[in-house]
Chain A
Amino acid sequence: MEKPRVVVTGLGAVTPIGLNAEDFWTSLTSGKSGIGHITHFDVSNFPIKVAAEIPGDFDPTHYMHPKMVDRTARAVHLAIPALKEALASSRLDMDKEQVERVGVVTATLVETAYLIKGKELLEKHGARRADPLFITKSSPSALAMQIGMITGARGPNTYVDSLCASGTDAMGAALNFMRLGYTDVMIVAGSDASLDPTTLAGMNILGALSRSSDPTTACRPFDLNRNGFVYGEAAGVVILETYEHAKKRNAPIIAEFGGAGWSFDAYDSTAPYAETQAIAMSVALRDAGIKPEDLDYINAHGTSTKLNDVCETKAVKILLGEEKAHKTPISSNKSMLGHSITATGLIEAIASILTVSRGILPPTINYATPAPACDLAYVPNKASKVEINNCLSNGFGLGGENCCIVFKRFAD
C-alpha cells in the first residue's frame, strides 16, 4: 500500500521560554533557559528546588471562556492558546472542512492534585457531595475532548500514554490515522502541568530528578556533572495534513512528517536499554525511507540523567556506527526547557520541525565538561546554522516505551 505523504501546516506552543511558537524558537536557538526556582508550591522542606514553570502571569481567561477555565485542568488551560495559534498559523478553516475527516490525538498526564481533592471530598462529605467536575478535570481524555468541542472536529478523538514518550507517540499515532485513510487532518496536542509535589516526590524517590538548587546549571545533558532531570511544564500543538489536502487548500507547508518507529525495552521498570532504543530509531528511519548515512541531526531525548544520556549515546552509535555517530549533531532541548513528561515529545517535535524548516540546530546549554561515555557532537552552548534535510526526534518513556519520529525538509 502506498503511504500518503503527511505534512505539517501549523504550530503552536506555550512553554517556559515563550508563549507562542516563534518566541519559543527564538529563545531555543539563543540558548535561553526557562529553568528557575519552583514557585508553584513551597519547597522549603522539599528536596527538589528547581523546575521549568510557565511564567506566573499566564492567564487562561485570556484564551478561554471563564466557565471552561473552571471546568478544565491546567494542562487544558496551557494547551488552548497553543491550539488557537496552531490553527491560525495553518489557516485551517473548520467551516470548510469535512469535520469527520479531522481527528485529534493528545498526550497529557493526570494532575494528582485533583485526585487528592476528590478523595478528600468523598471522605469528608460522602458520595453525594462529590465534585461534579472531578471526571472532566482528572480524566486524561479531557484534553482531546475539549479540542474536539472547540474545533468541531468529529473524526477520531483519543489520547496516548507512554509517559515520557507520549508526545512523540501521539505524533506517530496521528500519522497512522492519516496513513490508514481515516483522516485528512490531525490536530496533535501534548500538554503537561503535572508539576506538583506528589508527582515530583514520586520521581525524586526514583532518583531521576536533579536536586540541585542552582537553576542555571541544574540541567546539563551529556555533561560529566549532570545529576538528574529538571521537571517542566509545557504545551504544544501540531497540525498535520495529507500532502494532497494541504496542496488543495494552498496551506502553508512547514515540513514533511517522514515516519515513526516504536519499540519497548522489556528490560527494567525505570532503567533505559540502548539496543531497543536503537530499534525504534532504526524503524523510524526505515519508515521515512531514510538511510542512516543520510541522517543530518538528532533531537535527543537528552534528559540529563546519568543513565539516559549514556544509554542514548550508545543507542545512536548502534544505529549509525561509531564514525557516522560522531559526525552527526545531536542536541537536547531539555537543557533549556526541562522535561515536561507527556508534552516534551510534542515540544521537541515542534523544535525538530522548525530545525528542518529553518536550518538551525538548537544548542545543548550548560555543557561544560565532556563525559567519557558521552562523546557525540552535542551542539554545545551555541546554536549552529546548517543545511539540513532529515531530523530524528527521540522519545523514551520511563518504563521502556520508545518512540522516534522523522521530519524532512519540505520539497514539492
Chain B
Amino acid sequence: MPTEDTIKDIVVKIIHCDRELLTSDSTFKELEADSLDLVQILVALEDEFNIEIPEEDAQGLTTFGGFVDYVNNKVAEKS
C-alpha cells in the first residue's frame, strides 16, 4: 500500500519513532507524539497528497490507522 508507506515515512521522519511501532491500532499518545507533532504531520500530509484536512476532522484522528483511512478517503474523493 503506497499511501500507508508514504504516511509511515512522514510520521517516522517527524516523531523519530521505530517504523515497526506504526500499526493501524497504535495511538499517537502511545507513540509519545504531542500536539506539535500532530500539526507537523497534518501539514506534511496535506502537502504530500495535496489535500486539505480541516481542524475538526483532525481532532478525531488519534490512531495511525485512522490517519491512513482518512487520507485514502480524501485522495479517493479527489480523483
List of A residues within 8 angstroms of B14 by Cβ: 67, 70
Shortest Cβ gap from A125 to chain B (Å): 8
Q: Is B58 at the interface (CB under 8 A from chain A)?
A: no
Interface of A: prevailing SS:
helix
Q: Which residues B1-59 have CB closer than 8 A to chain A?
A: 14-16, 36-37, 39-40, 43, 46-47, 52
B43 contacts A129, CB within 8 Å? yes
Q: Is A248 at the interface (CB under 8 A from chain B)?
A: no
B39 contacts A132, CB within 8 Å? yes
Shortest Cβ gap from B56 to chain A (Å): 15
Given known contacts A128-B46, A132-B43, A71 and B36 CB-to-CB distance under 8 angstroms: yes
B36 contacts A66, CB within 8 Å? no
B15 contacts A67, CB within 8 Å? yes
Q: Which residue of A lies closest to B38 (CB)?
A: A132
List of B residues within 8 angstroms of A133 by Cβ: 36, 40
Q: Which residue of A lies closest to B47 (CB)?
A: A129
> How many contacts A-B (CB < 8 Å)?
23
List of A residues within 8 angstroms of B52 by Cβ: 128
List of A residues within 8 angstroms of B40 by Cβ: 132-133
List of A residues within 8 angstroms of B16 by Cβ: 65-67, 70
Q: Which residue of B lies closest to A130 (CB)?
A: B43
Q: Which residues A80-136 have CB closer than 8 A to chain B?
A: 128-133, 136
List of A residues within 8 angstroms of B46 by Cβ: 128-129
Shortest Cβ gap from B39 to chain A (Å): 4
Q: Which residue of A lies closest to B53 (CB)?
A: A128
Question: Bound complex: CA of A133 vs CA of B34, how far in Å?
Answer: 13
Q: Which residue of B lies closest to A71 (CB)?
A: B36
> Considering only CB atoms and an 8 Å cut-off, how many residues of chain A contact the other chain?
12
> Considering only CB atoms and an 8 Å cut-off, how many residues of chain B contact the other chain?
11
Question: Bound complex: CA of A71 vs CA of B14, how far in Å?
Answer: 9
Question: Bound complex: CA of A236 vs CA of B36, how far in Å?
Answer: 28
List of B residues within 8 angstroms of A66 by Cβ: 16
Given known contacts A67-B15, A67-B16, A128-B52, A136 and B36 CB-to-CB distance under 8 angstroms: yes
Question: Bound complex: CA of A26 vs CA of B16, how far in Å?
Answer: 38
List of A residues within 8 angstroms of B43 by Cβ: 129-132
Question: Bound complex: CA of A141 vs CA of B37, how far in Å?
Answer: 19
Question: Bound complex: CA of A128 vs CA of B47, how far in Å?
Answer: 10
B36 contacts A132, CB within 8 Å? yes
- Residue among A67, A131, A136 with the highest chain B CB neighbour number at 10 A: A67
Question: Bound complex: CA of A131 vs CA of B47, how far in Å?
Answer: 11
Question: Bound complex: CA of A308 vs CA of B52, how far in Å?
Answer: 55
Question: Bound complex: CA of A132 vs CA of B47, how far in Å?
Answer: 13
Question: Bound complex: CA of A132 vs CA of B43, how far in Å?
Answer: 8
Question: Bound complex: CA of A132 vs CA of B36, how far in Å?
Answer: 7
Shortest Cβ gap from B48 to chain A (Å): 12
Question: Bound complex: CA of A65 vs CA of B14, how far in Å?
Answer: 12
Q: Which residue of A lies closest to B52 (CB)?
A: A128
Question: Bound complex: CA of A128 vs CA of B16, how far in Å?
Answer: 24
- Residue among A70, A129, A132 with the highest chain B CB neighbour number at 10 A: A132
List of B residues within 8 angstroms of A136 by Cβ: 36
Question: Bound complex: CA of A130 vs CA of B15, how far in Å?
Answer: 19
Question: Bound complex: CA of A128 vs CA of B36, how far in Å?
Answer: 15
Shortest Cβ gap from B58 to chain A (Å): 12
Question: Bound complex: CA of A130 vs CA of B43, how far in Å?
Answer: 8
23 contacts between A and B (CB under 8 A): A65-B16, A66-B16, A67-B14, A67-B15, A67-B16, A67-B37, A70-B14, A70-B16, A71-B36, A128-B46, A128-B52, A129-B43, A129-B46, A129-B47, A130-B43, A131-B43, A132-B36, A132-B39, A132-B40, A132-B43, A133-B36, A133-B40, A136-B36
List chain B positions with a Cβ less than 8 A from chain A: 14-16, 36-37, 39-40, 43, 46-47, 52
* 10 shortest interchain CB distances as A-B pairs: A132-B39, A66-B16, A67-B16, A132-B40, A132-B43, A67-B15, A132-B36, A129-B47, A136-B36, A71-B36
Q: Other CB < 8 Å A-B pairs besides A129-B46, A133-B36, 10 of them? A: A67-B14, A128-B46, A128-B52, A129-B43, A129-B47, A130-B43, A131-B43, A132-B39, A133-B40, A136-B36
